[in-house]
Chains A and B, each alone.
Chain A
Amino acid sequence: MAASARVLFRGANSKLSLSSVKSGSYNYLRVTLLTLSCNSHVKSQRRHAAHFTFQPDPVTTQYGPTQKMNLFQSVTSALDNTLASDPTAVIFGEDVAFGGVFRCTVGLRDKYGKDRVFNTPLCEQGIVGFGIGAAVAGATAIAEIQFADYIFPAFDQIVNEAAKYRYRSGDLFDCGRLTIRAPWGCVGHGSLYHSQSPEAFFAHCPGIKVVVPRSPVQAKGLLLSCIADQNPCIFFEPKILYRAAVEQVPVEPYTVPLSQAEILQEGSDVTLVAWGTQIHVMREVAQMAQEKLGVSCELIDLQTILPWDTETICKSVVKTGRLLISHEAPVTGGFAAEIGSTVQEECFLNLEAPIARVCGYDTPFPHIFEPFYIPDKWKCFEAIKKMINF
């Protein structure tokens, strides 16, 4: 199914139910609706079609009955399972009580009570610090940061506190029961502060785990793994997939192992590594490479950014001799650099071409220039061509 590029930050298509907002006494225009004149340029103003097509994985029956869910619903399902099975579990953050601006916690407060699913004051350092404390005291703490872009006020709590709690206390204290969730990545029109992919900042921080799912099924399994994991985890949710990605998701709890990459498609000529939304770009790239160049790509979803699965990646590169890594975040200091240097150390003699990175440019994430900024399929395709012809 085609991903909609118009995933708004919340309730994308929420009908204008508050008609009073438009028709009140101070409706200054006192018009029903504006009839904005259409002109020939409107087409150019419309947002661009999505830069990828979401492809569901084959349906699994391994974990029992499934239900059609999009990505935000699969997150809700994971949270629901956790609240049901773990009486210590609490979920909190800005606007979480009414369901969250992305609807990930809809219905949970009513089902489990307002002492377990609640709003916090608007303060990210507070949210993470509070979560650490709850975890230290034995609760399962699931903190929501409204956007990954707004995680930085909590940087100190994450980097200096959560990540180092166990180590600095000689394992007397830890906050392993903390999971931080945050919407992540580009959305088509999010610009500087609703588009970022900050995983590389946290990948530089031993002591936390960083995970990014590609789909509803993976999201639920990986989120449950993060929650169960004995270490603090950051779980970044590709927000463009919240509605655009729909799969048959198991209703019962299940886990997908952390620190294990998944080979989504086997191939012999080039290894493609990505995570989150970019997996779907890469799927199309692999297909284009096959059809237009006769090149066989092996596509790997890294899934856990830290600590990452070097073995699966290196084994693949030993086989293919070529590696392309792609992410939306700026290329310099991005996680592709880490993967590239490890592979270079481990697989130097197997490499047939320089390792390629197709990533965001070294600029903030721009609004109107997003179509030029993102590492789209054409840029990735071109990189494969160059590697093959090296």
Chain B
Amino acid sequence: MAAMRSVKLSGVCSHAVRQMTGMNACRMLQQRSFRVNGVHRQQSFDPTDKPQFPGASAEFVDRLEFIQPNVISGIPIYRVMDRQGQIINPSEDPQLSKETVLNFYQKMTLLNTMDRILYESQRQGRISFYMTNYGEEGTHIGSAAALEPNDLVFGQYREAGVLMYRGFPLDLFMAQCYANADDLGKGRQMPVHYGSKDLHFVTISSPLATQIPQAAGSAYALKRENLNRAVICYFGEGAASEGDAHAGFNFSATLECPLIFFCRNNGYAISTPTNEQYRGDGIAARGPGYGMMSIRVDGNDVFAVYNATKEARRRAVAENQPFLIEAMTYRIGHHSTSDDSSAYRSVDEVNYWDKQDHPISRLRHYMTARGWWGEDDERSWRKESRKKVMEAFEKAERRLKPKPDLLFTDVYKEMTDNLTKQRDAMWRHVKQYKEHYPLDAYDK
């Protein structure tokens, strides 16, 4: 136990040191300044028999003992509501207005409706690909609501609700999935790779985890601008295994970036279950290893997600440090339209989450208990939301594809000689062989 205690202690100490840089921390220790690699650093110095290694603040022990891998384990899951939507501890109730809560609910369900229609349209061959957000609506809306509208968002791909919360119109979601002429990304990427400059949502990229160190860089730059802006970076528990995740965590901690890492731990990375992804206590357990504040929340509890993100956001900016939020949830849908998850998980397992612990149902229970939402509201909202989605869908389907010239722009800021030549050659060719190219599907 001694080792454990000392581990804990040193954790506390190092945190305190960081909080009180340049001051006496933990103990009354003398200070001295010395050079490491030509850089001046401050380190506590105790003339007695204390370790002086620059890489750790700790104590000597005289018994051989390995630290158990479960020193950090069973990190609790913060929640505000139980599965029936009842507030557990009134002091944790975010006390959101009826209007705000209804907005949460409508955004969560609108996302769900959009998902169903776009999923089905992929099955019918109308769009090439789709990824649903089923079961993770609470993580999106709860976190998005806790941010300031101009905080910068880096997403993975399963965070459409964040963008929806910020006001990205259905028309633009559809335009992206259809890669039509209204797509802000100019038809270049696969469906669900949304982006919006106005809404401070950096365009999604398929290669996993690349956004994680980028988010650290952005947070660092925002910190220097001193405009009270934070960055949030979403990723899956699978992506957290990438080397880039390590880089991003470590950079943000050492460079003191106002950044919220938001991990959606939904149990799977395609077919790979979490026990083949990591052996520690999830993603939250990694936080202390990086010297980072961490919390685990019930991702199906939109209020828990909201509270945690709100507080992390406040402190990230006030204290210039990163926070790690691990939201426990479940991917109810297949990984994507290219996946059939019955090959690796049981229908019973999926049903449990769909029927017993769904973030939308939980919030609805909460609203119903307050008399804020009844069957009639539900019925008319369903009709209305479906109509909205269908209208946007039909509009997107009718719209032409972007003009083929856009194949060559934005490779560089300016058109280069080789690209100009290639574009001209393409047009000469396409005009000569026009019966073989689907020109009428594209804008002129």
Residues of A within 8 A of B (CB): 6, 8-12, 14-18, 20-22, 24-30, 33-34, 36-37, 39, 41-42, 44-48, 94-95, 97-99, 101, 118-119, 121-126, 149-150, 152-153, 188-194, 331-332, 361-364, 366-369, 371-373, 376, 378-379, 382
19 contacts between A and B (CB under 8 A): A11-B340, A20-B347, A24-B355, A36-B121, A42-B397, A44-B441, A45-B178, A95-B272, A101-B271, A149-B206, A153-B242, A188-B128, A189-B190, A362-B418, A362-B422, A363-B419, A366-B188, A367-B128, A372-B407
B276 touches A42 (CB 8 A): no
- In the assembled complex, the CB of B357 is this many whole angstroms from the nearest CB of chain A, namely 10
Flag whether B393 is at the interface (Cβ < 8 A). Answer: yes
Q: Which residues of B contact A26 (CB under 8 A)?
A: 112, 134, 332, 354-355, 358, 360-361
Inter-subunit contact A332/B418 (CB<8 Å): yes
A-binding segment of B20-28, B48-56, B57-65, B432-440 = B432-440
Please tell me if the beta carbons of A45 and B243 are within 8 angstroms of each other in the complex.
no
Are A122 and B242 neighbours in the complex by a CB distance under 8 Å?
Answer: yes
How many Å lie between the Cα of A331 and that of B112 in the bound state?
A: 43
Q: How far is the CA of A362 from the CA of B241 in the complex (A)?
A: 32
Q: How far is the CA of A363 from the CA of B126 in the complex (A)?
A: 26
* Minimum distance in angstroms from A155 CB to a CB of chain B: 11
Given A34-B120, A122-B277, A192-B206, A9:B441 Cβ within 8 A? no
Q: Determine whether the beta carbon of B407 is less than 8 Å from that of A369.
A: yes
* In-complex Cβ contact of A126 among B239, B241, B361, B441 (8 A): B241
Q: Are A191 and B437 in contact (CB under 8 A)?
A: no
B402 and A368 form a contact (CB under 8 A): yes
Roughly how many angstroms separate A48 CA and B361 CA in the complex, as a whole number? 41
Number of interface residues of B (CB under 8 A): 88
* Interface 0/1 of B323-351, CB less than 8 Å to A: 00000000011101111111110010011
Q: Is the interface of A mostly helix, strand, loop or mixed?
A: loop
Are A28 and B341 also in contact (CB < 8 A) when A191-B189, A363-B408 are?
Answer: no
Closest CB-CB distance, A26 to chain B, in whole Å? 5
- By the criterion CB–CB under 8 Å, are B271 and A98 in contact? yes
Chain A hits for B386, CB < 8 A: 29
Tell me whether A367 and B271 are in contact in the complex, defined as CB-CB below 8 angstroms, given that A16-B123, A372-B426, A382-B433 are known contacts.
Answer: no
Q: Nearest B residue to A29 by beta-carbon distance?
A: B116
Q: Look across to chain A and name the residue whose beta carbon is closest to the beta carbon of B423.
A: A361
Q: Is the CB of B397 within 8 A of A39?
A: yes
In whole angstroms, how far apart are the Cα atoms of A33 and B344 in the complex?
A: 24
Pair B134/A33 contact, Cβ less than 8 Å: no
Residues of B in contact with A (beta carbons under 8 Å apart): 109, 112-113, 116-117, 120-121, 123-129, 134, 178-179, 187-190, 193, 205-208, 238-239, 241-244, 269-272, 276-278, 332-334, 336-344, 347, 350-351, 354-355, 358, 360-361, 382, 386, 390, 393-394, 397-398, 400-402, 404, 406-408, 411, 416, 418-419, 422, 426, 429-430, 432-433, 436-438, 440-441
With a cutoff of 8 Å between Cβ atoms, the chain B residues found around residue A382 in the complex are 429, 432-433
Expressed in whole angstroms, the minimum distance between the Cβ of B328 and any Cβ of chain A is 18
Chain B residue at minimum C-beta to C-beta distance from A382: B429
Chain B residues near A29 (CB-CB < 8 A): 113, 116, 382, 386
Query: Which residues of chain A are within 8 angstroms of B340 by Cβ–Cβ distance?
Result: 10-11, 14-18
**In-complex Cβ contact of B397 among A33, A45, A191, A369 (8 A):** A45
In the bound assembly, the distance between CA atoms of A10 and B243 in angstroms comes to 26
Shortest Cβ distance from A34 into B: residue:
B120
List residues of chain A with CB within 8 A of the CB of B350: 18, 20-21, 24
B243 and A122 form a contact (CB under 8 A) = no
Closest CB-CB distance, A8 to chain B, in whole Å?
5
- In the complex, what residues of A have CB within 8 A of residue B397's CB? 39, 41-42, 45
